[in-house]
Amino acid sequence: MAMQFIAKDVKIAVETAKNIGAAAPLGEKTAELWAAACEQLGGARDQTEIARYWEEATGVKL
């Protein structure tokens, strides 16, 4: 599945939480992570590319 679809779904979940007054700090950070990965690697890339993004962002090889 393309990363852009994961990013979209996480964003929708966070917006839904906000709309009902629920706190979703982990969801917010997750949305930021997926959005940044899509921007850097391209949203059409497979979702497994999130691991490569994380490796580059942290300098830790998974």
Instruction: Give the chain's domain count.
Output: 1
Range of 17's domain? 3-58
Residues 46-55 have pLDDT tens digits of: 999 999 999 9
* Paired tokens of 54: 């994380």
Report the pLDDT value the prediction gives residue 16, as an integer from 0 to 100: 98
37 pLDDT band, cuts 50/70/90, is: very high
**How far apart are the C-alpha atoms of 43 and 12, rounded to whole Å?**
16
Report the pLDDT value the prediction gives residue 29, as an integer from 0 to 100: 97
pTM given for the model: 0.87
Percent of the chain with pLDDT strictly greater than 70: 100
Nearest CA to 38 among 9, 2, 1, 4? 4
6 pLDDT band, cuts 50/70/90, is: very high
